[in-house]
Amino acid sequence: MKKYYRFMKLRFSTGIQYRMASVTALTTQLVWGLMECLAYKAIAEASGGGLPMDYSSIVTYIWLKEALLVLFNTWAADNDLFAMIADGDIAYELCRPVSIYSMWFSRTLGARIAEAVMRCIPVLICAFLMPKMYRMTLPVNCVSFLLFLITLFLALGITVAFCMLVYMLCFFTISPQGWRMALTGAVDFLSGNIIPLPFFPKKYLFLLELSPFAYMQNVPFRIYSGDLAGAEIYQCILKQIFWLAVLTFLGIVLWKQAEKRVVLQGG
């Protein structure tokens, strides 16, 4: 485990160097978050307040989504890994006396945490300084915040495990773009990145809750905002653990199959 921790630490150190990129993205995320708050405010006024989530919970959800965007977006995958698969540089990785799956998992985890560290604090500071109608709120109590942190890390693990599935599927295609565009685009919509899941019709939400997508960013953000409480939180934690184990297992199985099919040409 120590060597995989070092892979994660190395990728974290590399990612933390791109400070200017994070500053540039900060402006985009603040403007986009404010636009979303304004849009939901208009919807709340037009509907007479009859929304599936309280407006203050929606605002907090939006700012958490913007602050922690890099933790849970699946479209911003590691391009270097896709290039290794497509160009044959995977040969160098195969020479390492480590598990490719574990190494790439650690690398992806480190990269996401590094970017989140640089972006989240400025976004959160600005979110707490917004005018009252658009201001992020604190969690209800310390227990809610602790549960938020637990589910946040589990959700991050599920997201990374899903990205690993995308990487592994690319071994079975000529180009990674097909799998990448189809799967990551769908996950963005189904995980609550575009609209919070409570806004989905109930019959579709029921089906969605049978998938791993509902246990990514949806769970920790709704716990923090107070929209998710009671025994339902602990049920979600158990489901998060289940899906993390399932996706990790599927990723390892796919890698074992891909390892047998790897063909390198040239010298």
| Residue 99 backbone dihedrals phi, psi, to 5 degrees | -80, 125
Which residues contact residue 9 at a Cβ distance below 8 angstroms, ignoring those fewer than 6 apart? 110
* pLDDT 10s digits, 30-39: 888 899 999 9
- Cα-to-chain-centroid distance, residue 242: 17
Total of domains in the chain: 1
Tokens of 141: 């109590």
pLDDT at 267: 47
pLDDT at 237: 95
Tell me, yes or no, whether 266 lies in a domain.
no
The residue range of the domain holding 57 is 2-261
User: How far apart, in whole angstroms, are the C-alpha atoms of residue 8 and residue 226?
Assistant: 32
Tell me, yes or no, whether 157 lies in a domain.
yes
Tell me, yes or no, whether 122 lies in a domain.
yes
Tell me, yes or no, whether 167 lies in a domain.
yes
User: How far apart, in whole angstroms, are the C-alpha atoms of residue 171 and residue 86?
Assistant: 8
Tell me, yes or no, whether 42 lies in a domain.
yes
CA distances from 197 to 61, 94, 202, 207, 211 (A): 11, 40, 10, 12, 13
Of 203, 80, 56, 67, the C-alpha closest to 131 is 56
pLDDT at 93: 72
| Residue 93 backbone dihedrals phi, psi, to 5 degrees | -65, -35
CA distances from 45 to 51, 61, 62, 107, 136 (A): 10, 18, 18, 45, 19
Q: Which residue stretches of the chain have pLDDT < 70?
A: 1-25, 49, 76, 174-176, 261-267
pLDDT at 1: 64
Against a cut of 0.85, is the pTM above it? yes
Of 208, 207, 203, 178, the C-alpha closest to 192 is 208
Tell me, yes or no, whether 267 lies in a domain.
no
